[in-house]
Amino acid sequence: MKHYDLIIVGGGPIGLATAYQASLRGLKTLVLEQYSYLNNQGSSAGASRQFRLQYAQTSMAELALAAQDYWASLQRFSQKSLITRSGSLWFGDPELNSQEGGIQAAENVMNALNIPYAPLNAAQIEAQYSFKNLPADYRGFFQPDGGIINLKATENTLYNQALASGLVDLMEWQVVRAIDASTPDNIHITTPNAEFCCSQLAITTGPYINQTLELLNLRMPIKLWQMSSAYFKKTAEQLYLPTWFVFQKPQQSALFYGFPEVDWSHPGYLRVATDFPDHGSIEKPSQRNIAPSAKSLALDSNWVLKHMKGLQATPRFTSTCLIALAQDSTKELLLDYLPEDHPNHHNIVVYSAGWAGKFIPILGDMICQMLNKPTNDFHYRNYCIARSNFSINWQPSCQA
């Protein structure tokens, strides 16, 4: 039985970021992935994610500001740009809040943290960007530091750096069948064809988190969404857009977001996506349909037809992504130790839930900090971010 300082269950971007940060700390690390690496079976499906600084919660905006340092550090190891700075545009109904936050709340936080932005009304948004037929009372803002994350380049960079360290073993097609944490500082992991032991454990299995936690008789309070997206062909050569998000009513069928054209993902096309689940929440990842919902694609196409200039309204290159979100809408991310009544609780850290693409590099550092010593606060730049912002209201598993 091979012993590791740290075992990470889940080899998506957060698991890989944790492995990379562990290698910087000199830890002999194993990452176990149930599928192949760089797969599209979970929340890392697709080519791109939005980076933004604006949040309705001060702690999340502080974390996004601090994450920029970790992105810059990781960029040194990639010839591809990990974040293309196109700016971030939010607009729509200023009174509306969603899982993403709200316009007025985000402006209040940006004012408090001196994050620059330019307020815009509906006429200015239509004049400066490729939108049309917006309600006259819509307003929003442009924040220049936002952009588009090259998700697969980020995963590849983390994978390659972890591997190059000589301290990280990366094993794929390894479904964890048992976790025995009953002995202090000695955690046993069993897969169908091997056994491993470690001093510390990180569980980063994204939307599959509760399948993993069943092995510990625990459950995380999350909801699972299958979400669709599509690309739309440009008809206007000089079409400029930042990343964008629109807040509309009714919330469950009128929230959309989009990306500018990039040369590494369907050049000549722009991605536009719905920000609501295809079929409502699902209970298990196995209930996911790989094909996008026809209803979601129709709503997506109708939004492009009514409100965007310079694009064909026919969806192309369609795909789905499986995302875990906290049931508690005040929680953007869920990151915590096991409950105190569990053996080795400070040696096991669990992460899932949230729109976490923008935090990939810094989340790896946060997990490693928590495993290094009991941690109640994260100190980045001049910010003190309480771990309680991400705490989990643990529940017993359905099988307990």
With a cut of 90, say whether residue 96 has pLDDT above it: no
Domain topology for 88-144+223-326: D-Amino Acid Oxidase; Chain A, domain 2 (3.30.9)
Q: How far is CA 218 from CA 172, 275, 277, 341, in A?
A: 25, 29, 25, 12
Show me where the domains of the chain are located: 2-44+152-221+330-396, 88-144+223-326
Non-local (6+) Cβ contacts of 222 within 8 A are: 207, 209, 210, 324, 325, 326, 327, 334, 352, 353
* Unique residue bearing structure tokens 């409950």: 339
Residue 287: how many other CB atoms lie within 10 Å: 12
Q: Is the pLDDT of residue 99 over 80?
A: no
Phi first, then psi: give them for residue 386, nearest 5 degrees: -70, 135
Provide the pLDDT for residue 251: 56
Q: How far apart are CA 385 and CA 302, in angstroms?
A: 41
Distance, in Å, from the CA atom of 394 to the CA atom of 391, rounded to the nearest integer, reads 9
pLDDT of residue 400: 47
Question: In this predicted structure, what is the pLDDT of residue 100?
Answer: 67
Burial class of residue 316 in the structure, from the number of CB atoms within 10 Å of its CB (0-12 exposed, 13-18 middle, 19+ buried): exposed
Q: How far apart are CA 349 and CA 368, in angstroms?
A: 9
Residue 216 in 3-state DSSP?
Answer: helix
Instruction: Answer whether 246's CB lies under 8 Å from 256's CB.
Output: yes
Neighbouring CB atoms inside 10 A of 261's CB total 18
Residues 2-44+152-221+330-396, CATH architecture: 3-Layer(bba) Sandwich (3.50)
Q: How far apart are CA 365 and CA 372, in angstroms?
A: 10
Q: What is the pLDDT at residue 252? A: 56
What is the rounded distance in angstroms from the CA atom of residue 53 to the CA atom of residue 66? 10
pTM of the predicted model, to two decimals? 0.95
Q: What are phi and psi of 29, to 5 degrees?
A: -130, 145
| pLDDT for position 69 | 98
Q: Evaluate if residue 74 carries a pLDDT over 50.
A: yes
Say if strands 256-258 and 243-247 run parallel, antiparallel, or are unpaired.
antiparallel
pLDDT of residue 43: 84
